[in-house]
Amino acid sequence: MKLTILFGGASFEHEISIVSAITLKQKLSGFDLSFIFCDQDHQFYLVDASKMKALTFSKGEYKKMPKLSLSLGAFVQKGLFSSRDHGGMFLNLIHGADGEDGSIAALLDFFSIKYIGPRIDASVFSYDKRYTKWLCNARGVKCLKHEELSVKEHNNIKIPYPLIVKPSRLGSSIGVSIVKEESELDYALDSAFEFDSSVIVEPFLQSVKEYNLAGFWANGKINFSIVEEPHKEEFLDFEKKYMDFSRSEQVLKADISKDLESRLKANFEKIYKNLFEGALIRCDFFVVDGEVYLNEINPIPGSMANYLFEDFKDSLELLANSLPHAKRAKINYEYIHSISKAKGK
């Protein structure tokens, strides 16, 4: 399968995107892979597969590589006397802003480029945790109670301690703090507001069961991964999640009942259908007193959650052959022609 991986972006999760791309290069050996890097200035570069190493980017060596621009259906490499198109199938692997907020989706849609990844509307509802709560309420999926704070307006928080403070539009645990008592709250809010002007406050649940489930739509149904029960620590900070993004070995299936597995899948399907088609997503769930709650939607999971699938290569190829097709309006100027004809022009 021929596939171009688009990664990088101007976000706080820029480095994680690089780690994901390097991991997929190893995981998708046998694919005809190309790599396009988006730097912090929104310049696109064609990166030689042999140079897909962390130091290529940290040392700025990518700047010596061919620059690309966008054209209908492809990225274009312009030469002195000719140009070369880089088209085909793309994988949006830009985490955080740019990749998950809908910016890249809009760009690729605008230029009619085929890609695996969340479309604009799916990005909106999964990137901002406030809108994810609205989506849950609209689709009958339980989520934790929460309060919203803005940098300009701090209300008295009613959620009892311990609680967790999160930037509304950021992942990978960046800016996230567990607050066990009131004296820790101001520091936690200051940390979160460094990254976003909006903050979500939720109860911090101890001894809660957590389960991760990924999937995608193809052949008329959702194709699910195994259910994972992640290694439980009180809190996975950025450094631990950074390492987590480089996983490539398949994890063990969670030891859960068929009933719980069915309920996790039913909630995943409520979130996914008629919104996330074209994307492989991962949903992270809590189970509290036997009830399933959505914790988070990962519209572009780290390394595409390859470790949750028994055959990741086949899964990705199946998804690539099942992408939604956007209809372009046909412009024929009939209305203008009819007006001109009526005026005798």
pLDDT digits (tens, 9 = 90+) for 72-116: 999 999 988 889 999 999 999 999 999 999 999 999 999 999 999
Max intra-chain CA distance, the chain: 79
pLDDT in tens, 131-147: 999 999 999 999 999 99
pTM, full prediction? 0.90
3-state SS of 186-211 is HHHHHHHHCCCCEEEEEECCCCCEEE
Q: Are residues 154 and 289 in the same domain?
A: no
Cα 83–Cα 86–Cα 90 angle in degrees, nearest 5: 160
State the pLDDT at residue 343: 73
The domain tally of the chain equals: 3
Q: Positive or negative, the Cα torsion across 194, 100, 274, 313?
A: negative
Residue numbers of the domain that contains 135: 124-142+206-320
Q: How far apart are CA 168 and CA 176, in angstroms?
A: 10
| pLDDT beneath 50, residues of the chain | 238, 242
Instruction: Please give the single-letter amino acid code of residue 3.
Output: L
Query: Cis peptide before 66, with omega less than 30 degrees from 0?
Result: no
Q: Are residues 138 and 42 in the same domain?
A: no
The reply to whether 194 falls in a domain is yes
Q: Are residues 185 and 210 in the same domain?
A: no
Q: Are residues 37 and 158 in the same domain?
A: no
The domain boundary residue, chosen from 203, 221, 249: 203
Q: How far apart are CA 137 and CA 30, in angstroms?
A: 43
Among 172, 272, 262, 253, CA closest to 215: 272
State the pLDDT at residue 342: 78
Q: Are residues 226 and 311 in the same domain?
A: yes
Q: Are residues 158 and 134 in the same domain?
A: no
State the pLDDT at residue 238: 47
CA 93 centroid distance within chain: 7
The reply to whether 284 falls in a domain is yes
CA 338 centroid distance within chain: 46
Q: How far apart are CA 126 and CA 271, in angstroms?
A: 10
Q: Residue 265 class from Cβ within 10 Å (0-12 exposed, 13-18 middle, 19+ buried)?
A: middle
State the pLDDT at residue 244: 57
